[in-house]
Structure 1
Amino acid sequence: MHHPIKRPLNFKRQSIYLLPNLFTLSALFAGFYAIVQAMNGHFEQSAVAIFIAMILDGLDGRVARLTHTQSEFGAEFDSLSDMVSFGVAPALIAYEWMLKDFGKLGWAVAFIYCAGAALRLARFNTNIEVVDKRWFQGLPSPSAAALVAGLVWIGIEYASDLAVLRPALPYIALFFTLFAGLTMVSNVRFWSFKEFHARKTVPFVAMLVAVLVLLIGASRPALVLFCFFIGYAASGYVYWVWCKLKRRPNMA
């Protein structure tokens, strides 16, 4: 009696693009490193790691588009990496740095930030095909993380200059963490910079301004980055007020 030959099942091999996902993995590592350093009390290193994660997060998508290696796996992996680097890490850094002195209020505000980042990422993933790509609905999670990490960075680097504000610093940290968390899930619109064209001609004086900005940024990176993201976070509310005064729709 002849038995049928059993052939092994052919499973479709799952493959991923290495280059863009390597940038995403590096951003995830930077977020994890920030958490570890915060647990060890090295808050300045934690803050810098958040900004490094921001740079890497901005590169992975651009590398994928330039090399035509976009994939559904990459999009999901990027979202999970963002949750760690810009959701969990800033919340834990702020809590370990200042918020834990508030007791239950401190960890509640830290969780509001963490939950806001999760909700912001989920809404972005589900609305990506229907929203106006020129605008973000709510503050992007990397910008929210920059607000928290930037405050930690300047609070440590300029500790002597801010000595007079030292008693108020925990309350400032509480406000910034809560503000960032709630703004992520708001309907306030923020410019996405996707209409910025690098090939567009500009006046020569623009190069002089760019050189000046680079020099200031190189000499005072913490202060320049923090001021930039404060301005960006405020820009959404300024535009919202302007729309209300002009009676223009502000729905994202």
Structure 2
Amino acid sequence: MTTEPGEPSGDRGQEKLTLVQLLPNMLTVVAICAGLTAIRSGLQGSYEVAVQLILLAAVLDGMDGRLARALKSESGMGAELDSLADFLNFGVAPGMLLYTWALEDSRSVGWLAVLTFAICSVVRLARFNVQRKSEDKSHDNAYFTGVPSPAGAMLVMLPMFLSFGLGTGPVLPDVILAIWMVIIGLLMISRIPTWSFKTTRIPRKNAKFFLVAVAVALAAAVTYAWITLVAFCVAYVASVIIMLPRRRRAMSDD
């Protein structure tokens, strides 16, 4: 008896998984639903709700992989599902939101920017998957190559955060918004090393200060959500600029 391509064979196909082991994939599916609903909300003009759904998808994206590793339930299917979710939530949804929010009247220019951002996102994810599956373990996990997709989505929505925080409409002309979207897309596929927070180590003596800073940041995010998001985006860009020469020096010393 033969099996179809991609179909699990033997005992592997009969293996039973607990609901807890399926929880990471369930979170990924919820994130996909959040991204799709964000697009729907944007089409209906509920832009703040749409952005909040993308932020929710970003939080879930940060949880599912860690949860899978903690539960020892990592799988090839889960990894591919996560990549597809990232493309939808961080490559398609943000561009669609900006288009319906401010770029729809610019027609071709705005749509070309959306297409450019989406293509850059899928190229970046494809490159990341190749690096992850590569047998070359010399890649420095302390840095990403280019801006990660979730960070790219947050940066591309920065004009929306600023507008919501100020209580105004779009604060930049359509052409500038389109150029901004293209620039972020190109940064995603660039070779610029960007800091990976996953490998950050906090000295034990400074842990209490870090926890206080996290509490203050969360309080600010609850009280002044949009302005805090603007500050986070600016801080992220500043961290990339500050860390860039250090990373280049480290590469030259190797």
Question: Is the TM-score greater than 0.5?
Answer: yes
Aligned sequence identity (%)? 31
Higher Cα Rg, which structure: 1
Greater alpha carbon shift after TM alignment, 194-203 vs 14-23 = 194-203
> Which residue of the other structure, out of 108, 112, 117, is the alignment partner of 2:112?
108
Say if 1:205 and 1:60 are closer, same or farther in 2 by CA, change over 3 A: closer
1:128-147 counterparts in 2 under 5 A? 128=132, 129=134, 130=136, 131-147=139-155
Tell me, in whole angstroms, the C-alpha distance in 1 between the residues paired with 2:210 and 2:251.
33
Tell me, in whole angstroms, the C-alpha distance in 2 between the residues paired with 1:169 and 1:73.
42
Number of residue equivalences: 238
Deviation at 1:92? 0.7
* 2:109/2:175 contact within 8 Å kept: no
Deviation at 1:222? 1.7
Deviation at 1:141? 0.4
Greater alpha carbon shift after TM alignment, 215-224 vs 53-62 = 215-224
Are 1:121 and 2:129 an aligned pair?
A: no
Say if 1:207 and 1:238 are closer, same or farther in 2 by CA, change over 3 A: closer
TM-score (norm 1): 0.83
1:62-211 counterparts in 2 under 5 A? 62-128=66-132, 129=134, 130=136, 131-160=139-168, 166=171, 168-197=172-201, 200-202=204-206, 204-211=208-215
* 2:164/2:226 contact within 8 Å kept: no
For residue 157 of structure 2, what is the amino acid of its counterpart? A
Which secondary structure does the structure 2 equivalent of 1:187 belong to?
A: coil
Greater fraction helix: 2
TM-score (norm 2): 0.82
Tell me, in whole angstroms, the C-alpha distance in 2 between the residues paired with 1:123 and 1:178.
19
* 1:24/1:77 contact within 8 Å kept: yes
Tell me, in whole angstroms, the C-alpha distance in 2 between the residues paired with 1:182 and 1:70.
31
Greater alpha carbon shift after TM alignment, 125-134 vs 172-181 = 172-181
Equivalence for 2:38: 34
Which secondary structure does the structure 2 equivalent of 1:79 belong to?
A: helix
* 1:188/1:237 contact within 8 Å kept: no
Deviation at 1:210? 3.4
Which secondary structure does the structure 2 equivalent of 1:98 belong to?
A: helix
Deviation at 1:248? 5.7
The higher relative CO (CA closer than 8 Å, separation ≥ 6) is in 1
Which secondary structure does the structure 1 equivalent of 2:64 belong to?
A: helix
Unaligned 5+ segments in structure 1 are 1-6
